[in-house]
A and B are shown apart, each in its own frame.
Chain A
């Protein structure tokens, strides 16, 4: 038999470490050590299975010999206790933390802010300090120490403060983030450079300490080069008194450059030699080889050591070479340590572990033959990695002593660090349990509170105090000036004039009493009162009165900063940079200002602008929901009472609208428009779109004016685009609107809509895109804009046709387009010949941008009329091209300077006369197309869905009746109250489904038809020219996306057709079969859905009935609270019934929801295909119904029948027949009612008890196993593979 060894370590079996054969591999790789296997599994991080034969490894738990079958109760108890204690401690910590952070912090915030406010006010709202702290500004009536009052006061303070914190913390976070972005933006650096000049002066650059950086750092080298260039520029630019110093510095730098280049050459040479010591991994792990090693000692050196420093690359090379030799030596003698003699000790190598510091090198060395024998010795445990140190130095005579020492020291440190890290890693798991407990909760709380207090002091107390002071002083000053002015008037006699002015004012006021009252009441007096309150500091102050001083202070600070910045900017420039501390201050303040600016712009763009759009949308869409009100949200339950929610709805709606609009623009840009038409709207795919950068660099006023412009455009789009349509419906009194929200059952179908829309997204996109392609084409053809908008140059569009007379025009006479004439020539022609129509060109050709990514500077040169061969018709006049650009001159912040890619190309397009009007008309026509699309889609969907709504309505109407009569069906049809045209949610939901499916069906059929045509003509390439979709594809052949899809569709469909033709089918048969298939599929989908729906309904009904019959009904009966009214079921919830309901719910609702919820989410995620199969629905929903019916309802009925029979046979004389008895007892519940009402409870109780006992037994078994695993195991052993013919190797 062959020798048995481990497939990983090639070692034999030992008594301690036997070999196993856990998989089906045989031969030389049959056996394996358990330890080796575990190590490999840990290393590879894969499933525990053989990577060759893929057999899963099996491990058996080893139990102690005395393991009992059932664990003693004491152990179970201990286990429970441990778990409980652990959970308790855990819970305590968590709740402590939660309390400290979530409850305490907001309350502390409120209290601290109150304290600061009182200090500012110099008074407390209540006399008692504690009461003031609790109640704040609130008035207290009665006993202030009543618990309920305190609780309510604290709650209101808490939520007050919480909402405040929840607003401000995100704002601070956003500010911080924006600060990060701003300070990292290259634009910010340019800004600084332009405002105050570069940071490095000649002196700075020349200072040799700056040179001492890593020579291998490419960034640093780049910077050096730049600095040298800077210096040269500076030298050329001016005569600096320190010219000599500059020369010196330049010389130093040049030398430095040479050294760098030498270093690079060396580096290159080294790489070429491909020395393994410097390969990638080594560089990662061995910092020793970085040229940094000697650096620390050099850091403080001054100019005198420059020469030495410059030579450093060579010196480093030398050092490196020495180190390499040193390493080799170490590897040959890895066991050296302090105590041992410095003699090579070969045998130790065998037993010792690989050198932990640099083990690879050791292994790659040829293994000396003399260590052969030693390998059979067992490994010594606890062997420390050999750490070479300074003691090695004597045996390495040719090494640089200093370097060796440094190297050894570093290595020692590294080893120590590694050791420490390992210790830390080892220590963590032990403390795992207590990590949370050991967290100093009180420290967190105290620290947080202290931070808040300091923050409030700085951000609220100080500004408020100073703001008040400033306000007060200003007011005093104003008073003084007024008084002085008064005196001055009296002295000069101007008082008379003033009095007359007053009289005039009073007269005017009396003339328009209502208007002036209104103005005074709403505008003048509140302002005066507020200002007066702030001035006198009248208590209590309102929020606005508190904010005024704060904003005064912040405004003053901000304008101070701005003033400082501008004054510094004026004083300094590129040639006269600001340096030192002031520079740091300047950068800091500039950062602050820029962050604020960016924040403001982002807030306007991302928050206020969408909110505004949302408001406009509400304004325009309200007629959809109601004709009676102007703003719908003010009527909606819950939203109307809570202001922030309204804003949120506005924001969400506005953002959604803007997103959709952007998607539409993106679609037209990508598929329809000529590239370059939308040059003024940045595409999201534009690489130049750098939001932060633009917001930072562009002037604030310009950005605001742009936002205002787009605000205006959006206002028009929304008010006209949506508002006009809805108002049209409203004004015509159409019955289509308002939307019928009563039929809320549509909500149920929304899920399916979402799914269908997502599934058929490509289809919908395709048709919508086609629609728009057509719409654009028609519109631009009519307006002669094809060349400009679509880039389709049609010479027939470049003018108009003059007809001889109306008759010719009506008959559509065609002019000769090849011979354009002027108007007078045409008149002449009409007189002389019998030409019926003449083509007269007008408009002109202009240059237009060819791509959307053009620079602003370039655009200004465009849009000039040119001839056909691109010669300008007029001389280009540069001045007065663009008003906006004059206002904000294109100074250093021009886009083109830092735009990443611009393709400044133009093309020549035709621009018809009255261009502006045509564009407006174009937009108007697009609006009509949009309205047509949306309105017709909605109306079609609605009408398609109506029949379904009728059915649903019918169903609910019928079930509402107490007794069912077929006649109700017919009567309900008449009185269902559904108008055929009015929109309602159910119809829309169902109808859109139908419409989408019809569209898909149509799409399928039309493609098939096309293929047939093509097969017939045997033309593949240019087929379907008469058809919109093929044409679209041809137009956008560049767009591979569509082309590929279409091509694939064509291939598929052709394949299918061929198959059908092979079956002797003609095309019509296939369409008929498709219809049949469609019906079949739809039918099966409908039936499964109905099955699912009904099963779910029955499940819910059974759950409810269990709760009613087993709990509610007996409860009412027992406490004499009347009987159940089955038409309006309500539950009594108190301390008896709630636990009972909860207990029962874990057998009724909870299991049901556990099945239902994942299924619903799966339907939404992956579609109904997998969930909605008959088998699945039966297993998951119908089976539980059946089991429930058998286990409860059947028993109840059987018991009732038994009772009835018993009653009948005992008292048969009372009943005329058995039927009468059944009717009397079961239906009328005339007797035994008091007993039978508890029947349900009893049976369900038994049911629950049986189930619980089963579960309890399972739980017990599980705990038993767990405890066994915990207390009685000795470890895990590999299981040998079963079908082995050999025995386990002897150990």
Chain B
């Protein structure tokens, strides 16, 4: 078996093909912010960084600029289980099935992000300030997010 040096590229192209040919609901050119949440109507640029050994290792998703969310680090990096490589979870918060495996793909990641935006997971928060705000002062949280949304739209 020759080494599959360009598996990553080939697979990404395949996924791209798949996405354009048969895009899942809610994704046109990118994920649409879920409705009925403060993130509604927002346009949040994000960058997916794929490692060389993709799909063996998960990609990294970073919102540029960062947005306020309990599961997004202050530097914009998204912290959800599907983006975590299997086997290096010291606290056993997440089950192995929830983590990255080559079966996952960009589409799943984007869907997970949409779900994350509408339902933050406070238990494994990445941004403690956002967690606190979300838990203690939901109104303020939503106001801040809406402000970010407006800013993202250039309003």
Interface residue? A360 (CB, 8 A): yes
Q: Are A10 and B5 in contact (CB under 8 A)?
A: no
Does A52 contact B97, Cβ atoms closer than 8 Å?
Answer: yes
Which of the candidate stretches B43-51, B121-129, B134-142, B147-155 sits at the interface with the other chain?
B43-51
Q: How far, in Å, is A10 (CB) from chain B's closest CB? A: 4
Partner-contacting stretch, out of B12-20, B30-38, B109-117: B12-20
Tell whether A367 pairs with B87 under 8 Å between CB atoms, given A7-B103, A51-B101, A360-B51. no
A8-B102, A35-B4, A367-B12 known; A360+B86 contact, CB < 8 A: no
User: Which residue of the partner chain, among B15, B53, B103, contacts A43 with CB atoms under 8 Å?
Assistant: B53
B90 within 8 A of A: no
* Contact (Cβ within 8 A) B87 A46: yes
Known: A46-B86, A274-B75. A7 touches B5 (CB 8 A): no
Bin chain A's interface residue count: 35 or more
Q: Can you sample 27 A-B contacts with CB below 8 Å?
A: A5-B14, A8-B103, A9-B4, A9-B11, A9-B55, A10-B10, A10-B11, A11-B11, A29-B103, A35-B1, A36-B7, A36-B102, A39-B4, A43-B57, A44-B87, A45-B87, A51-B96, A51-B101, A274-B64, A276-B49, A354-B5, A363-B52, A364-B50, A367-B13, A367-B16, A379-B5, A379-B6
* A66 smallest CB distance to B (angstroms): 25
Flag if A363 contacts B97 (CB, 8 Å).
no
User: From residue 359 to 378 of chain A, which have CB atoms closer than 8 A to chain B?
Assistant: 359-360, 363-364, 367, 372, 375
C-alpha gap A372/B57 in the complex (Å): 24
Most chain B CB neighbours (cut-off 10 Å) among A10, A52, A351: A10
B15→A10 contact, CB < 8 A: yes
A1167 / chain B contacts, CB cutoff of 8 Å: none
Residues of B within 8 A of A44 (CB): 56, 86-87, 101
Q: Which residues on A sit within 8 Å (CB–CB) of B75?
A: 274
A40 touches B9 (CB 8 A): no
Q: Does A517 contact B (CB under 8 A)?
A: no
B86 touches A375 (CB 8 A): no
Q: How far is the CB of A386 from chain B (nearest CB, A)?
A: 12
Chain A residues closer than 8 Å to B86, beta-carbon distance: 44, 46, 51
Contact with A along B41-75 (1 / 0, CB 8 A): 00000011111111111000010111000000001
The yes or no answer to B133 lying at the interface (CB within 8 A) is: no
Q: How far is the CA of A777 from the CA of B132 in the complex (A)?
A: 50
How many angstroms between the C-alpha atoms of A385 and B86 in the bound complex?
Answer: 29
Across-interface contacts of B54 in A (CB, < 8 A): 363
In the complex, what distance in Å separates the CA atom of A91 from the CA atom of B62?
Answer: 58
| A267, CB-defined interface residue at 8 Å | no
Residues of A within 8 A of B96 (CB): 51
**Does chain A have a CB within 8 A of B8?**
yes
Residue of A40, A360, A364, A381 touching B102 (CB-CB under 8 A): A40
Return the chain B residue nearest A17 by Cβ.
Answer: B1
Inter-chain contact B6/A353, CB cutoff 8 Å: yes
Q: In the complex the two chains form, what is the Cα distance from A5 to B87 in whole Å?
A: 26
Chain B positions within 8 Å of A7 at CB level:
102-103
- In the complex, what residues of A have CB within 8 A of residue B15's CB? 10
Q: Which 4 A-B pairs have the closest CB atoms?
A: A10-B14, A353-B5, A35-B1, A8-B102
A8 contacts across to B, CB distance below 8 A: 7, 11, 55, 102-103
Q: Tell me which residues across on chain A come within 8 A of B56, comparing CB atoms.
A: 39-40, 43-44
Instruction: Verify B5–A383 contact, CB threshold 8 A.
Output: yes
Binary CB contact string for chain B from 76 to 101 against chain A (1 if under 8 A, 0 otherwise): 10000000001100000000110001
Give chain B residues whose Cβ lies under 8 Å from the Cβ of A45.
87
With known contacts A9-B7, A360-B52, A381–B87 Cβ distance under 8 A: no
B87 / chain A contacts, CB cutoff of 8 Å = 44-46
Tell me the residues in window 932-958 of chain A with beta carbons closer than 8 Å to chain B beta carbons.
none
Q: Kindly supply a per-residue 1/0 record for chain A positions 799-829, scoring 1 wherever the CB is within 8 Å of any chain B CB and 0 otherwise.
A: 0000000000000000000000000000000
User: Which chain A residues border B76 with CB–CB below 8 Å?
Assistant: 274
Task: Evaluate contact between B101 and A379: CB separation under 8 angstroms.
Answer: no
User: Given the complex of chains A and B, what is the CA–CA distance between A27 and B76 in angstroms?
Assistant: 34
| Residues A34 and B12 in contact in the complex (CB < 8 Å), given A40-B56, A354-B6, A360-B52 | no
Interface digits, A45-62 against B, CB 8 Å rule (1 contact, 0 not)?
110000110000000000
- The docked-state distance in angstroms from the alpha carbon of A372 to that of B86 is 32
Does A38 make an interface contact (CB < 8 A)? yes
CA distance A938 to B104 in the complex (A): 68
CA distance in complex: A381, B5 (Å): 9
Judging by beta carbons under 8 Å apart, are A375 and B13 in contact? yes
- Residues from chain A with a CB closer than 8 A to the CB of B47 are 276, 364
In the complex, are the beta carbons of B8 and A354 less than 8 A apart?
A: yes
- Given contacts A39-B56, A354-B52, A363-B9, whether A379 and B14 have CB atoms under 8 Å apart is no
1/0 per residue, CB under 8 A from B, across A338-355: the answer is: 000000000000111110
Interchain CB contact under 8 A, B2 and A379: yes
